[in-house]
Amino acid sequence: MKILQAQSSPKLPFLISKAPKSGGLPLPRKSSLLLNSNPCVASQRHERFNWLLLNSSISSSISTRAASVEANTSKITAGTGEKDVLKALSQIIDPDFGTDIVSCGFVKDLDINEESGEVSFWLELTTPACPVKDMFEKQANEVVAAVPWVKKVSVTMSAQPAKPIYAGELPMGLQAISNIIAVSSCKGGVGKSTVAVNLAYTLADMGARVGIFDADVYGPSLPTMVSPENRLLEMNPEKKTIIPTEYLGVKLVSFGFAGQGRAIMRGPMVSGVINQLLTTTEWGELDYLVIDMPPGTGDIQLTLCQVVPLTAAVIVTTPQKLAFIDVAKGVRMFSKLKVPCVAVVENMCHFDADGKRYYPFGRGSGSQARNYLAKNFLYQHSYNHIFFSLCSWICVVQQFGIPHLFDLPIRPTLSASGDSGVPEVAADPQGDVSKIFQELGVCVVQQCAKIRQQVSTAVSYDKSIKAIRVKVPDSDEEFLLHPATVRRNDRSAKSVDEWTGEQTLQYTDVLEDIEPEDIRPMGNYAVSITWPDGFSQIAPYDQLQTLERLIDVPQPTPA
């Protein structure tokens, strides 16, 4: 058994777009550029434009094909009906995955009556809040109806939410939640809770099953921003679990509903309270759980990222540079914990008066990015060139690859709705603010769908060869590590002096034949390895890829 030194700086892919198959309709050129490049500042306006191009192309293709078919040739050959229908449906391209809906596995229960020319099938999407489900239904009817022998088409839309990653290894209350979204600001007073609550009710309005968890124990905002009939959490005496309260179809949990008011306690106690509230609640089946994170990057934030595998994060800020500096710290924290930041919401950007738009805090990153895109990107400059002319705030967006930017105006109604207990998107669903949140909701749904297609790093112990297997996501790479090597490279306070950085764990302190007792994922960024002495080691995926690897490992002989 030999040891091979790993590369010093391995690179992990983040998001990989799949190209459409040759049988499908290709995406328009501008749409392909936005999908395959780093989409740091692509606006929702561009995506709608691309969808119009795509829809127009498909409709044109359908019309051309239909016009070229003569009535006397509309006969089906035995055994070709299913092939014809699937070929027609393969023209419809999913914008998130970049491939056709047949390859995505969306087409279910296809039933063909060859004699009557009737075709029926289900389109089973990954979320009931899919923003393009109506377009999919319309296009499916059109492309199948264009098949010469088809006389009648019946399309039924449904959704089968993605199963939670590591569902069996999560606390019981979290096992049926498909996506967990953190809304964070790392600075108080920027409107984070307003964004979290209105985003949650926007997702619910899109058809998703949603819950909100208010993780701010010191100053819970949820009891003020919503007004459920039952304002106290209840306990299930048999299961010893928490029953969430509910308002307008959204499940709610907050320390403010526990009848204790605001907490006066030390950090470790707060982490325990949050852990209990989050993991012992009977959330049931949810498509999205929105977590209103407390300000900062301390114990509570780390606890949340370790207890649950966060799907994505939405960052809230204001136009001031001071607020954005703190946001950058939060983005770095999520980056280290392998939580993708999918959007930045810039609150209190501007207000309109006397026919003009005023920016009381200066133009922030969102408005500058969009202005630059409008003047340069669509006409003459390459995609990467946009970053060189933007302010330092955009450099943070570029560095961490945050795909979307949203501006929220200063509106008295938005503030008043937060105080009245009725979210703005529920009070005025057709208003300008609600439209912005609808775009944010579409962004979150699309980005979560992309993220969930990724395969997480898999770490397991192969007892037959006494080695730890590490499978790298989105590749065929798999390597082996010696358990003693992993244990000796622990970087916790038990193994390394925090003041001097000196290694206190000696080489001989770890037995050569040591074996892990248990390996479990910790959030998105590491695994927790339990050793025979009871020590629980946190091993980040990035660190595992830098350790010495085993080669020429003898495989066990079959019995």
Looking at the fold, whether 306 and 419 belong to one and the same domain comes out as yes
- Any domain includes 6: no
- The DSSP code for 503 is B
In whole angstroms, what is the distance from residue 524 CA to residue 542 CA?
11
CATH of the domain at 132: 3.30.300.130
**Single residue among 419, 454, 489 that ends a domain in this structure:** 454
Residue 179: strand pairing partners: 288
Looking at the fold, whether 184 and 218 belong to one and the same domain comes out as yes
- Any domain includes 257: yes
Contact 40, 401 (CB under 8 A): yes
pLDDT of the residue at 300: 77
Tokens describing residue 495: 């193994």
pLDDT of the residue at 416: 85
Looking at the fold, whether 382 and 522 belong to one and the same domain comes out as no
- Any domain includes 26: no
pLDDT of the residue at 212: 96
pLDDT of the residue at 383: 38
- Any domain includes 450: yes
Q: How many other C-beta atoms are found inside a 10 Å radius of the C-beta of residue 410?
A: 16
**Single residue among 159, 180, 196 that ends a domain in this structure:** 159
**Residue 267 belongs to what H/E stretch?**
helix 267-279
Looking at the fold, whether 248 and 341 belong to one and the same domain comes out as yes
SS3 42: coil
Determine the residue type at 177. I
Calculate the alpha carbon distances from 421 to 175, 189, 245, 248, 339 in Å. 30, 18, 14, 11, 31
Distance of CA 328 to the CA centre of its chain: 19
Number of folded domains that form the chain = 3
Contact 195, 316 (CB under 8 A): yes
Looking at the fold, whether 259 and 371 belong to one and the same domain comes out as yes
**Single residue among 132, 159, 186 that ends a domain in this structure:** 159
Residue stretches of the chain with pLDDT short of 70: 1-79, 96-98, 161-169, 260-267, 297, 323-324, 363-401, 403, 453-457, 473-476, 523-524, 555-559
In whole angstroms, what is the distance from residue 397 CA to residue 370 CA?
13
SS3 158: strand
Task: Please calculate the CA angle 253-258-260 and round it to the nearest 5 degrees.
Answer: 135
SS3 344: strand
Give me the residue label for tokens 């790093």: 457
Looking at the fold, whether 102 and 232 belong to one and the same domain comes out as no
CA proximity to 538, closest of 522, 554, 556, 551: 522
Looking at the fold, whether 320 and 388 belong to one and the same domain comes out as yes
SS3 527: strand
CATH of the domain at 463: 3.30.2020.30
Looking at the fold, whether 415 and 469 belong to one and the same domain comes out as no
pLDDT tens string 78-101: 458 888 889 889 888 887 666 788
CA proximity to 144, closest of 93, 97, 90, 71: 90
In whole angstroms, what is the distance from residue 137 CA to residue 157 CA?
7
pLDDT of the residue at 77: 54
pLDDT tens string 111-163: 888 788 889 998 888 777 777 888 888 989 999 988 888 889 999 888 776 66
Buried b (16+ CB within 10 A) or exposed e, 162-174: eebbeeeebeebb
Looking at the fold, whether 94 and 185 belong to one and the same domain comes out as no
Looking at the fold, whether 147 and 258 belong to one and the same domain comes out as no
pLDDT of the residue at 357: 85
Looking at the fold, whether 411 and 513 belong to one and the same domain comes out as no
- Any domain includes 473: yes
In whole angstroms, what is the distance from residue 372 CA to residue 377 CA?
7
Domain extent for 485: 459-546
In whole angstroms, what is the distance from residue 305 CA to residue 298 CA?
11
Give me the residue label for tokens 């937060």: 418
- Any domain includes 373: yes
In whole angstroms, what is the distance from residue 444 CA to residue 309 CA?
16
CATH of the domain at 269: 3.40.50.300
pLDDT of the residue at 109: 87
Looking at the fold, whether 194 and 126 belong to one and the same domain comes out as no
- Any domain includes 36: no
Instruction: Judge if pTM exceeds 0.75.
Output: no
In whole angstroms, what is the distance from residue 456 CA to residue 165 CA?
9
Alpha helices by DSSP H, 313-469: 321-336, 365-372, 392-400, 412-420, 424-427, 432-452
Contact 303, 291 (CB under 8 A): no
- Any domain includes 383: yes
pLDDT of the residue at 252: 95
